[in-house]
Amino acid sequence: MLNHLHKKKRSWDRTGANRDAERIEPGDTHALPNLNGPGIIRHIWMTLNGTEPDFYRNMYMVFNFDGEETINVPLADFFLFGHGNLVDVDSIPIQVSRQPHLQNPPYRGGLNCLFPMPFENNASLAFKNTGSEPCTVYYYVDWEQLPSLDAPVLPFHATVNEEQTQPPEGQKVIEHGQFDSTLPNPDWKENYVFLNVDGYEGHYVGTGLNIDCKPGWKGKWWEGDDMFIIDGEPWPPRLHGTGTEDYFNLAWGFRKVESRPEHGITVLEKGPEVTDQIDGKFTVYRLHINDPIPFERSLLATIEHGHANDCETLYRSIAYWYGRRI
């Protein structure tokens, strides 16, 4: 006897014709029928077509699990190409396949999410078009309806942050592409924040980071250390890294596009004005599939923007995590 049901939500044409996409007008939201739990979303597949150059950044995923909105983020950020042009991604939970015969940016292809998303009572999923032109969306949502889930149920979250970083006021100014290894950083107060959550228990499972560094901007962004402050612990935190490329499981900088199961570089764009290895647009990711970071009350996930936060750069990130209010 089956103790669970495999189900799908799809954008297929109910008339039997081949008009399988949902057209979402500017400012509109397309809501899927609610999922009644207990259940787990196992797989989400999508593809889009739009006329705006930023349609992947203008289309938002808005997911609500058991009465709490846990995801309200642009598709480009969620699928690890936050600068907006679709690229190939080959990680364990996020996989994107760009179609090579479609040559015009922002390109088209298949977007897949394999993060399990559990819910106890219900889940509501929607796509919101914040752009100024219509966009068509095709989708599959594969999920299981179950008799029960192991407690406690930890809903899946995705949190976006963005900051134009600057060196701390009064600190020594570092030239572009340089750093002073003797400059102390006494705490995490000036760090860039991936996630700051209080009153939750859960575990942190991944980071996507988009960097846009212009020639002449201060400092050297990839010298920044990661710092994860668990449950309000005092300085120094037990998880303190050795450099930005080290946290992202690389070494000696970011120099080529390479997508691996739990880390990689999906974007590395450099224009003719580039004067240093740190200049350009980058998208990098680090997934904590085999080494999630657990917390019981709070988590502050941060990274220095350059050693001792000496860097002037545009940071934009997404944090993937599971958690429930306590």
pLDDT value of position 1: 34
Does residue 170 lie in a domain region?
Answer: yes
pLDDT at 306: 97
pTM: 0.95
157 Cβ neighbours under 8 A, 6+ residues apart: 70, 71, 319, 320, 321, 322, 323
10 Å Cβ neighbour count for 179? 19
Residue after which a domain boundary falls, among 125, 145, 165 = 145
Residue 22 and residue 5: Cα distance in Å, rounded? Answer: 26
211 and 298 part of one domain: yes
Write down the pLDDT at residue 8.
Answer: 54
Looking at the fold, whether 123 and 183 belong to one and the same domain comes out as no
Domain boundary among 145, 173, 188: 145
Q: Are residues 101 and 82 in the same domain?
A: yes
Q: Are residues 305 and 162 in the same domain?
A: yes
In this structure, the answer to whether residues 112 and 160 fall within a common structural domain is no
Give pLDDT, residue 228.
98
The pLDDT assigned to 103 comes to: 86
Per-residue pLDDT of the chain (326 residues; tens, 9 = 90+): 345 555 555 555 555 545 668 999 999 999 999 999 999 999 999 999 999 999 999 999 999 999 999 999 999 999 999 999 999 999 999 999 999 998 899 999 999 999 999 999 999 999 999 999 999 999 999 999 999 998 899 999 999 999 999 999 999 999 999 999 999 999 999 999 999 999 999 999 999 999 999 999 999 999 999 999 999 999 999 999 999 999 999 999 999 999 999 999 999 999 888 889 999 999 999 999 999 999 999 999 999 999 999 999 999 999 999 999 99
Residue 53 lies in a domain: yes
Looking at the structure, tell me whether residues 105 and 200 fall in a common domain: no
Q: Secondary structure of the chain: what % helix, strand, coil (to 5)?
A: 5, 45, 50
Q: Do 118 and 243 fall within a single domain?
A: no
Residue 188 lies in a domain: yes
Given 112, 145, 178, the domain boundary residue is 145
- Give the C-alpha separation, 219 to 242, whole Å: 17
Q: Residue 55 belongs to what H/E stretch? A: helix 55-58
State the Cα–Cα distance between residues 196 and 324, nearest whole angstrom: 14
pLDDT attached to residue 15: 53
Q: Are 70 and 205 in a shared domain?
A: no
Tell me, yes or no, whether 114 lies in a domain.
Answer: yes
Assigned domain for 71 exists: yes
Both 102 and 179 in a single domain?
no
The domain of 55 spans 5-145
| Structural domains in the chain (count) | 2
Within its chain, how far is the Cα of 100 from the centroid?
Answer: 24
CATH of the domain at 210: 2.60.120.1390
**Residue 65 placed within a domain:** yes
- Pair 171, 135 in one domain: no
In a domain, 150, yes or no: no
Judge whether 151 lies within some domain: no
Q: Are residues 160 and 304 in the same domain?
A: yes
- In a shared domain, residues 183 and 247: yes
